[in-house]
Amino acid sequence: MAEHTDFEKRFHDALEAIGAVKPAPPDEPADEAVEGLEVAESDTEVAKLSTPTAINLFQHPDIHPVVLDLCLLKKYGPDWLYWETETLRHHIPQDFRTSFSDRESSVSDLNIGKVQAMKVLHYNDTYWQRWEVFNWCTQPFNYLYVDFEIMQPPSAAQMMVSVDTARHVRSDVEWTDEVKNFIQEACRFDGVFCPPIPLDFVEVGTKHGLLDCEDVQARWPDVRKTGRLPPEETPENEQLRRNLESHRYMLRNQDRLQSQMHLVLNV
């Protein structure tokens, strides 16, 4: 989600078969998505569902980058961090054998992008030091193709997912002023002036002084916990609304990772 293969159905069916919770759809809050889960009609039907294999993970567009990283580390150890892209494309179909036909045994370009972005986190500090590397990695961390020719400004929600993903690998690197300034400008471009965790290491604010970020930060824990926003239309309440949308987007991505961690056992 080969050419006519319904990866979304295969992936979700496999999750049901092993008793995992389906990841929430990207356009719905995680707490609402649970109500729409479909279950198999009988134990016989569940028994017929195939167990997901590692190569599915390298083909499926919704697989979390951290899961791909763990699969490679489990199979190859740190050696894969020194491999070129073509080496990965060659070895993964060979070493993660499946019962599917050869035409399906390949690594998608999108997942290659995720793998390469995860490699950057392991290999050096440039994600935390150079704004363009941070931006390039942020795209595949949000299941998007990287375009090295056209600037793709990330949203605050996408940067939250990016930073949250990076923290699964390393949390010992200091952010440079260059990357902080990029995150600040991207937040301003997205209209988010009081970003929540994990972007709370930057101060965005506004130049006209009409927004009280201290008030937003003071009320944010309650809004985050309850999911309820005050009805009044104020600049502070609008920031709370945007923060809540971004926070839910990040939570859906965290739920996706949690659901897919079961699949690493099949490697």
pLDDT tens, N- to C-terminus, the chain (267 residues): 334 344 445 444 544 443 433 334 334 343 333 232 233 333 333 222 233 444 577 888 999 999 999 999 999 999 999 999 999 999 988 887 653 344 456 889 999 999 999 999 999 999 999 999 999 999 999 999 998 888 889 999 999 999 999 999 999 999 999 999 999 999 999 999 999 999 999 999 766 678 999 999 999 999 999 999 989 999 999 999 999 999 999 999 999 999 999 878 877
The set of residues, in sequence order, having a beta carbon less than 8 Å from that of 16 and lying 6+ positions away, is: 22, 39, 40, 46, 49
- Angle (deg, nearest 10), helices 131-141 and 156-166: 90
Does residue 2 sit within a domain?
A: no
Does residue 152 sit within a domain?
A: yes
- Does the pTM surpass 0.85? The reply is no
Neighbour count for residue 138 (Cβ, 10 Å): 27
Per-residue pLDDT, 208:
63
Q: Which residues form the domain of 72?
A: 7-266
Tokens 């017929």 label which residue?
48
| Of residues 212, 210, 216, the one with CA closest to residue 197 | 216
Three-class DSSP category at 133: helix
Does residue 19 sit within a domain?
A: yes
Q: How many domains does the chain have?
A: 1
The set of residues, in sequence order, having a beta carbon less than 8 Å from that of 211 and lying 6+ positions away, is: 193, 194, 205, 235, 236, 239
DSSP state, residue 78: G
Does residue 1 sit within a domain?
A: no
176: tokens are 């440079």
